[in-house]
Amino acid sequence: MNLDAMRATNRVFEEEVVAKGDFAALDRVYASDACILPPGAPMISGREAIRAYWKAAAAALQARALRLVTIEARQEGQAIIEIGRAEVDTTAGANALEIKYVVVWRQEGGLWRWQIDIWNANG
Amino acid sequence: MNLDAMRATNRVFEEEVVAKGDFAALDRVYASDACILPPGAPMISGREAIRAYWKAAAAALQARALRLVTIEARQEGQAIIEIGRAEVDTTAGANALEIKYVVVWRQEGGLWRWQIDIWNANG
């Protein structure tokens, strides 16, 4: 497996996308054919729509920082299937939001990227 | 792939678990090492805990019927990764609840079963 490569991609999401608000960096996180399945909205396909979603969601959540923690990951064929959790700091406080997720990863352009991304909140 | 085998398992969930309330039938739906990631609760592992979850959830939702529709499925290694949606009829009406999900399937005891099951509501 490629836990180091996964961590590097997750760090782009944590540091560049959420902490700095650089939504163009999402192109180094998601595969070109990615889709996301966010709570409260239908499935969203393609990088342009995914960028628009995260820009709006980050503003709505007032997310300040986010940490992604891999709980379990295994390789199957060309994919890695990951179960994880996200701890989100918002203007309401540290760890104000606890999220769990499943991400299906695939390799593209030398990076491991998120191809399917679904999550929900614990509470 | 094994779309017929998947459909047969999904039918057990639709007809025996949800429509008839036979929660023991969940043992023919979930793999022995399955986990579910439901909205509003932490991750739940193992069949006994999964049965208890669905028993409580079916009562809380007042689900009368449910239809599972596969949107996309692909085999990777020993797994099938499925994106789908569930249309749920409740006492509030037909299609009162629209759910989307990702299920990771594996073969066990001659059946294809749900090993990882995560979902959320569209609205």
Mean pLDDT, chain B, integer: 95
Is the predicted ipTM greater than 0.85, yes or no?
Answer: yes
Q: Name the residue facing B76 among A71, A77, A101 (closest C-beta).
A: A77
The answer to whether the CB atoms of B43 and A81 lie below 8 A apart is: no
The closest alpha carbon to A1, from B72, B77, B105, belongs to B77
Q: Name the residue facing B121 among A39, A76, A77 (closest C-beta).
A: A39
- Write down the domain spans for chain B: 3-121
Give yes or no for B81 touching A (CB within 8 A).
Answer: yes
> Distances from the Cα of B3 to the Cαs of A25, B10, B69, B81, in angstroms?
37, 10, 11, 12
The pTM of the whole model exceeds 0.90:
yes
Q: CATH number for the A3-121 domain, one of 3.40.50.880, 3.10.450.50, 3.40.50.10860, 1.10.760.10?
A: 3.10.450.50
Min distance B33 CA to chain A CA atoms (Å): 13
CA dihedral B62, B6, A70, A23 (to 10 degrees): -80
Q: Name the residue facing A37 among B78, B102, B104 (closest C-beta).
A: B102
> Distances from the Cα of A70 to the Cαs of A73, A113, B43, B77, B84, in angstroms?
7, 14, 13, 21, 24
Give yes or no for A53 touching B (CB within 8 A).
Answer: no
How would you write B65-115 as a 3-class SS string? EEEEEEEEEEEECCEEEEEEEEEEEECCEEEEEEEEEEEEEEEECCEEEEE
Confidence of residue B39 (pLDDT cuts 50, 70, 90): very high
Given the structure tokens 């609205």, which residue do they identify?
A: B123
Average pLDDT, stretch A90-116?
95
Give yes or no for B70 touching A (CB within 8 A).
Answer: no
According to the model, what pLDDT value does residue A73 have?
97
Confidence of residue B2 (pLDDT cuts 50, 70, 90): confident
Nearest chain A residue to B117 by CA: give it: A102
